């Protein structure tokens, strides 16, 4: 298993470039199942999770090619409606094929996603939405079996805001007979991006960027070409790296409007920001001020940046609190950060962070995608050498993160193992 050996350098400077958004590309790939023929996605990074989704779509019968950030997906011969355990257990977002397979083939058999390092993650809202649209669902031997004679539009009220369930419901409803209304739908940019690709394919979805979406079912969808949006979580991770630096850094190819909650918190912590079209230049604070974080559905502070922001606060001037309301158990990074001599205590889903003067390098272990990014950021500022093992987690969602960070002055070496 590969590991990162990180030597400290707080003098980062220059430009760093953000890739396409993994969490927008995954549903876009699944959406291609709905439009028989060859769709082409641009701005697609080389990520393990996207390879896993490509593998899954191939199992289902799609043909996929990928070169230089361009992915083509030919879904003409889709015929095998199954997402097997070995792929779903690698990546929960495999559940995104459920809605498209039901809509296109009238049946789907998807392995039930198991536990995950950031806590229990049920899929009940996905299943309720499919049932509301007329699917019959039963669970046997660890598989979700879904079947329908034809989906029919329905009113669906989500009890909780869920990115995944909103997207799955959208992808099922676009080919249903009649009109579907989704209430308390998620508003994340990745949901908007899915609406954009589906509408480009010929779907009729209105209400984008609100919590109420209306989908008028159509008979057919057609293949498209689409540019994928920049990854707001990768951009946010780089901005936090910049905030830990002593020199200004410019994060390029990002959408500031998707990062408002983070930018507000960076300003509160003393950073100055200059925003110009799709670039953000960050001037770090002389002394990092404390600020509290509460993760919430978009446009609130993203849970996917909670671990990275905790690193910033661990070097702030005083005490701060970070509360995760989306995934209350998502604090595996805390024990690892304390190995680097951060001073963080947990009370339920709230981390109490006492700022320390410095972190000290040590061996730590990545536990999930965003926690790994946090450990890399911590290693970049900790005194002495830090080794982050199990970095396959980071390769799931960050394209060549060490090369990108090294291009602005970080000292990260990948050791193959
Ligand atoms: C997506 C993102 C993930 C991000 C999360 C929250 C992808 C591939 N992943 O995950 O990186 O951290 O949004 O922004 O895009 N819930 C239920 N029942 C369900 C579904 C969800 O109770 O059927 C709960 C979850 O446990 C969680 C909350 O709803 O507490 C929000 O989860 P959701 O938005 O669905 O997250 P994902 O789509 O899985």
Cα of 387 to ligand 1 centre, how many Å? Answer: 30
Q: Is residue 98 domain-shared with residue 14, that is, in the same domain?
A: no
Average pLDDT over residues 78-107: 95
Q: What pTM, to 2 d.p., does this model score? A: 0.98
**Amino acid 54: pLDDT:** 98
Q: Is residue 140 domain-shared with residue 58, that is, in the same domain?
A: yes
Cα of 365 to ligand 1 centre, how many Å? Answer: 24
Cα of 303 to ligand 1 centre, how many Å? Answer: 10
For ligand 1, pick from 163, 185, 398 the residue to mutate: most ligand atoms within 8 Å of CB. Answer: 163
Nearest-CA neighbor of 205 among 34, 23, 15, 9? 34
SS3 39: strand
Q: Is 328 exposed, middle or buried (0-12, 13-18, 19+ CB in 10 A)?
A: middle
- For the chain, the domain total comes to 2
Q: Is residue 46 domain-shared with residue 175, that is, in the same domain?
A: yes
Average pLDDT over residues 365-386: 96
**Residues near ligand 1 (Cβ within 6 A):** 23, 26, 93, 121-126, 160, 162-165, 186, 190, 302-304, 326-327
Cα of 289 to ligand 1 centre, how many Å? Answer: 30
> What percent of the chain has a predicted confidence (pLDDT) above 70?
98
**Amino acid 410: pLDDT:** 98
List the structure tokens of 285. 């604070």
Q: Cβ of 78: how many Cβ atoms within 10 Å?
A: 21
60 and 88 in contact (C-beta within 8 Å)? Answer: no
Q: Locate the ligand 1 atom nearest the alpha carbon of residue 298 and give its number.
A: 14
Q: Locate the ligand 1 atom nearest the alpha carbon of residue 190 and give its number.
A: 15
Q: Is residue 185 domain-shared with residue 248, that is, in the same domain?
A: no
User: What is the tens place of the pLDDT at every residue in 138-190?
Assistant: 999 999 999 999 999 999 999 999 999 999 999 999 999 999 999 999 999 99
> What percent of the chain has a predicted confidence (pLDDT) above 90?
96
For ligand 1, pick from 162, 186, 261, 300 the residue to mutate: most ligand atoms within 8 Å of CB. Answer: 162
What count of residues does the chain have?
417
pLDDT band at 118 (very low <50, low <70, confident <90, very high): low
When the pLDDT of each residue in the chain is averaged and rounded to a whole number, the result is 96
**Amino acid 116: pLDDT:** 63
257 membership: H or E segment, kind and range? none
Query: Omega of the bond prior to 299 within 30 degrees of 0, cis?
Result: yes
Per the DSSP assignment, residues forming a β-bridge with 204 are 216
Q: Is the pLDDT of residue 321 over 90?
A: yes
User: What is the tens place of the pLDDT at every residue in 80-94?
Assistant: 999 999 999 999 999
**Locus of tokens 């394919």:** 201
Q: Is residue 46 domain-shared with residue 111, that is, in the same domain?
A: yes
What number of CA atoms fall less than 13 Å from residue 119's CA on the CB side? 13
SS3 159: coil
Q: Is the pLDDT of residue 253 over 80?
A: yes
* Domain that includes residue 199, residue range: 22-227
Nearest-CA neighbor of 207 among 235, 242, 225, 180? 180
**Residue where a domain stops, chosen among 201, 227, 253:** 227
For 406: left if phi > 0, alpha if psi spans -120 to 50, otherwise beta; the answer is alpha
**Ligand 1: which residue has its CA nearest to atom 35?**
162
Q: Is residue 217 domain-shared with residue 255, that is, in the same domain?
A: no
**Residue where a domain stops, chosen among 186, 208, 227:** 227
Is 32 an annotated catalytic residue? no
Q: Is the pLDDT of residue 307 over 80?
A: yes
Q: Is residue 47 domain-shared with residue 166, that is, in the same domain?
A: yes
131 membership: H or E segment, kind and range? helix 124-132
pLDDT band at 417 (very low <50, low <70, confident <90, very high): confident
Cα of 113 to ligand 1 centre, how many Å? Answer: 12
Q: Is residue 321 domain-shared with residue 349, that is, in the same domain?
A: yes
DSSP state of 301: B
Q: What is the DSSP string of 89-111?
A: TT-GGGGGGHHHHHHHHSEEEEE
List the structure tokens of 249. 């850094």
Q: Is residue 218 domain-shared with residue 275, that is, in the same domain?
A: no
Nearest-CA neighbor of 182 among 199, 165, 197, 196? 165
146 and 108 in contact (C-beta within 8 Å)? Answer: yes
Q: Is residue 247 domain-shared with residue 193, that is, in the same domain?
A: no
CATH code at 179?
A: 3.65.10.10
Nearest-CA neighbor of 122 among 144, 152, 97? 144
Average pLDDT over residues 241-253: 97
pLDDT band at 114 (very low <50, low <70, confident <90, very high): low
Q: Is residue 71 domain-shared with residue 147, that is, in the same domain?
A: yes
Average pLDDT over residues 312-325: 98
**Contacts with 67 (C-beta within 8 Å, 6 or more apart), sequence order:** none
Q: Is the pLDDT of residue 220 over 80?
A: yes
Q: Active site residue: 32, 79, 116, 252, which one?
A: 116
**Residue where a domain stops, chosen among 180, 200, 227:** 227
Q: Is residue 382 domain-shared with residue 252, that is, in the same domain?
A: yes
Q: Locate the ligand 1 atom nearest the alpha carbon of residue 167 and give its number.
A: 38
Q: Cβ of 347: how many Cβ atoms within 10 Å?
A: 9
For ligand 1, pick from 115, 118, 121, 169 the residue to mutate: most ligand atoms within 8 Å of CB. Answer: 121
Average pLDDT over residues 293-319: 98
Average pLDDT over residues 224-242: 98
**Amino acid 113: pLDDT:** 85
């Amino acid at each position: 298993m590969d590991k990162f050996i990180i030597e400290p350098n707080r003098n980062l400077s220059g430009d760093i470039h953000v890739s396409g958004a993994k969490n927008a590309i995954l549903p876009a790939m699944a959406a291609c199942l709905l439009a028989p023929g060859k769709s082409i996605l641009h701005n697609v990074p080389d990520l393990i999770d996207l390879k896993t989704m490509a593998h899954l779509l191939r199992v289902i019968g799609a043909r996929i090619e990928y070169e230089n950030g361009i992915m083509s997906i030919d879904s003409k011969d889709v015929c095998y409606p199954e997402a097997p355990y070995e792929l779903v257990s690698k990546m929960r977002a495999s559940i995104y094929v459920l809605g498209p397979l039901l809509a296109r083939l009238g049946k789907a058999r998807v392995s039930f996603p198991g536990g995950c390092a950031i806590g229990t993650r049920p899929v009940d809202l996905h299943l309720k939405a499919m049932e509301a649209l007329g699917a019959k669902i039963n669970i046997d031997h660890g598989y979700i079996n879904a079947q329908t004679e034809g989906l029919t539009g329905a009113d669906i009220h989500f009890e909780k805001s869920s990115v995944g369930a909103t997207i799955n419901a959208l992808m099922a409803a676009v080919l249903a007979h009649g009109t579907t209304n989704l209430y308390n739908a998620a508003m994340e940019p990745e949901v908007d991006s899915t609406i954009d690709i589906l509408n480009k394919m010929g779907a009729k979805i209105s209400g984008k960027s609100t919590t109420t979406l209306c989908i008028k079912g159509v008979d057919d969808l057609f293949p498209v070409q689409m540019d994928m949006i920049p990854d707001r979580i990768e951009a946010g991770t780089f901005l936090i790296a910049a905030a830990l630096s002593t020199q200004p850094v410019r994060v390029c190819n990002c959408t500031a409007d998707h990062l408002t909650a983070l930018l507000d918190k960076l300003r509160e912590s003393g950073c100055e920001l200059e925003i110009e079209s799709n670039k953000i230049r960050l001037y770090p604070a002389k002394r990092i001020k404390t600020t509290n974080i509460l993760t919430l559905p978009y446009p609130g502070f993203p849970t996917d940046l909670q671990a990275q922001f905790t690193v910033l606060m661990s070097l702030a001037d005083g005490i701060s609190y970070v509360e995760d309301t989306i995934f209350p158990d998502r604090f595996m990074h805390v024990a690892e950060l304390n190995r680097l001599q951060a001073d963080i205590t947990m009370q339920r889903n709230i981390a109490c962070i006492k700022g320390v003067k410095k972190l000290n390098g040590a061996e730590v272990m990545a536990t999930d995608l965003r926690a790994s990014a946090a450990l890399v950021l911590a290693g970049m500022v900790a005194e002495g050498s830090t080794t982050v093992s199990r970095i396959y987690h980071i390769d799931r969602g960050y394209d060549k993160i060490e090369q990108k960070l090294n291009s602005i002055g970080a000292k990260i070496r990948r050791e193959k193992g």
